[in-house]
Structure formats: structure tokens, C-alpha cells
Amino acid sequence: MTTRRFATVPSATRRQFLAYSGAVAAALTAAGCSAPPGAATATRPSASSGARLTKIGLDYPFTQLPLYSTLVKLSTAGAKKHGASLLTTNDGANADTQASNLTTWVARKVPAIVSFPMVFEATEAIAKAALDAGLIWVTYGGSLEHQSADIQFSFRKGGTLLGTAAAKWAAEQLGGKGKIAFLTDSTIELGRERTKGMIDAFTELAPGVDVVAQEQAIDPDTGLAKTQAILAKHPDLNLVLGVTDAAAYGGFKALQQAGRKKDDARTFVGGQDGSAPSLVAIKQGTFYRASAALAPDDIAHAIVEVPRAVAAGKADPGVEVPIALVGPGDTAAIDDLLAQNG
């Protein structure tokens, strides 16, 4: 298994945003999350350049995700170290509410805004207004034409890491034969990128493994139900790869309920996100064998440091948050991630 401890990975695309799990897809789908394909980034120095930041506004719309609480906690602590306070919005995964909250912040002249746009096109005008007002605008999970800097993520890379590890395992443990089911997401750009990375890497490296199903599932309930149905048709299913850890965890439970031993040597489940239940399952040596994980510390660090770097007038202040695959041998990395998740 290829394992890397949060090494920086090359940029894959500008339409990337943060790890997610659970039933957020419906809200995201309705909002159509993605940066416009042709969005050309033109960063602009802010009037706040050189000034000390006393407030940083974090606009993260998916407040229902566990990651949100973790990021707020870590970013608040990070901001406090520099004498700044962290403001937050309650967008409720609603693009209209997000636009309203951001407009209010611009009117209130919050000096630095870090925003994860639900609809990139719709946020462009607000970002421009923020820059025109001399505020710092940091785009999270993509790029806008009007921004001071951005925080990028490589989601296709996460899928590729997982698909590659699973293909390698299939070659070693199954002689390159077997059956795989993918729990995918085709509703939002992030999901499509993760899905493509995962499927492309696996099918290219393990052409002898039959792909018996590709089912939409991002939450554990759906992952459980879909895998149960797939198992009815293919009881000898060997691998389940998930676009999220939450969905893959549902598949993990479905396989166990079908009588598969927790440490079955001919079964592989893997997901993406680095969510706590999955990390624990990996650490315990079960057949949940891999997760492509983002470190909350890295993200929170970027949320605080990128606007500070812009304020300090640093050149090219944007960052790409690294993603890495963790497996059963990465106990220290798993412990570190679990500690970061609180």
C-alpha cells in the first residue's frame, strides 16, 4: 500500500473543495457546487495589506458536517494565538443564505473573509465587492476571478491514491481477480473528481477485477443499503471503495452483517475523508484497510495563515492542502488524525 504522511501533492484542478460526508449531497446538488471552468484567477492586493488582522471571518456553509466543528475549534485557537478572533456564519448549506451572510460581512467590513462558495459564479460579485471595499478575500476549495488568495484541495488525487492502493492489494491478495463495487457520487464536482480518480486508477491497475456495481452513496445508511443489495447479487464481492468514508463504512457494516469476518483476508473496504469511525476500523486491523485523509490541522492552519499572509503582503500566499492515504501500518498518523478530530 502506498502511504504518504501528508506530503504535498500536485494541483489537479481548480474546482476542488473540502472533504465532506453524510447527507450533504442533496443540499450541495441543489446548489450546484463548483467553480466555473474558465475562472481565471486575478489576485489583488488588499487595502488591509500590512495591517494586523483582528478578525477573520470563516464562511463554511456545510455546518452539518463533523469537520465543521473541528475546523471552527482549531481555527479559533489558531486565530487566538495571533490575537485575532474567528467569526462564523450559519449558512445551513443554503446558497442564498450564504450570499446574504457574506453581503452582511462585506457591509460590516470584516477585514478578512475565508469563504467556501456553494456556487462559485454567484459568489464572484460578492468577492469583488469585498476587494473593492479593501477587504481580504480568500477562496476556499477553488478559485474566483476576484480574490486575494485561495486554499486548494486535490480531490482527484485522493481518489487516485485509494484506487491505486486497492488495485495493489487485489493483485497481491486476489491474484488480480475478484469483484469490486464502487460507492460513488455524481451529483457534485468534488464527488465526481473523487469518483473519477478512484475508478480510473483502480480499473487501469486491476483490469482483471470485475466492476459489478457503481452506486450513488455518500452516507452510511445508503452505503449499507446499497451494499446489501449488491451482496444479494454478488455474495462473493471482494472490494468496496467509497467516495466518502461514511458510505464505505456502511458497506463495511453490510459485509459484516452478511457474515464476513472483521479481518477477512479476501475483503478490502476503503474510503475518503479520514473520518473517525473509519480510522478506528483501520487501526483495529479490520478489512477496512485504507482512507484518503485530509488533516484538519492543515486546513485550520491555512484558514488562519493565508489571510494573515495576504495582510502581511506576502507574494503568492495561497496554499494547497495535502492529502494522504492511511492504512493499517500508519498507526501514528491515524492517532494524529484522531487527535485532531477531537
193 in contact with other proteins (CB under 8 A): no
CB atoms within 10 A of CB 63: 15
Q: Which stretch binds other proteins (CB under 8 A): 4-12, 45-53, 67-75, 143-151?
A: 67-75
Write down the least CB distance from residue 221 to other proteins, Å.
7
Q: Which stretch binds other proteins (CB under 8 A): 8-16, 19-27, 31-39, 302-310?
A: 19-27
Give the SS3 label for residue 111.
Answer: coil
Beta carbons of 192 and 12 less than 8 angstroms apart: no
DSSP symbol at 328: T
d(CA 198, CA 266): 20
Q: Which one of residues 13, 21, 89, 291 is an interface residue with other proteins (CB under 8 A)?
A: 21
DSSP per position, 170-186: HHHHHTT-EEEEEEE--
What residue has cell string 467569526?
A: 87
Give the SS3 label for residue 228.
Answer: helix
65 in contact with other proteins (CB under 8 A): yes
| Total of residues contacting other proteins (CB under 8 A) | 44
Distance of CA 222 to the CA centre of its chain: 19
Q: Which of residues 149-188 bind other proteins (CB under 8 A)?
A: 184, 186-187
Closest CB to other proteins among residues 113, 241: 241
Closest CB to other proteins among residues 126, 279: 279
Closest CB to other proteins among residues 129, 338: 338
Write down the least CB distance from residue 88 to other proteins, Å.
13
Q: Which of residues 241-260 bind other proteins (CB under 8 A)?
A: 246, 249-250, 253-254, 257-258
Rg (CA), the chain: 20
Q: Which stretch binds other proteins (CB under 8 A): 18-26, 127-135, 146-154, 319-327?
A: 18-26
Which ranges in the chain belong to alpha helices (H)? 25-31, 66-81, 95-108, 120-132, 155-174, 189-205, 220-233, 245-257, 276-283, 296-311, 331-340
Write down the least CB distance from residue 172 to other proteins, Å.
29
63 in contact with other proteins (CB under 8 A): yes
77 in contact with other proteins (CB under 8 A): no
Q: CA torsion, points 180, 186, 189, 190, in degrees to nearest 10?
A: -40
Beta carbons of 215 and 19 less than 8 angstroms apart: no
82 in contact with other proteins (CB under 8 A): no
Q: Is 47 exposed, middle or buried (0-12, 13-18, 19+ CB in 10 A)?
A: middle
Q: Which stretch binds other proteins (CB under 8 A): 31-39, 65-73, 196-204, 322-330?
A: 65-73
Q: Which one of residues 7, 40, 83, 232 is an interface residue with other proteins (CB under 8 A)?
A: 232
- Which residues are near other proteins by CB under 8 A? 21-24, 26, 63-66, 68-70, 184, 186-187, 213, 215-216, 219-221, 224-226, 228-233, 235, 246, 249-250, 253-254, 257-258, 275-277, 280, 341-342
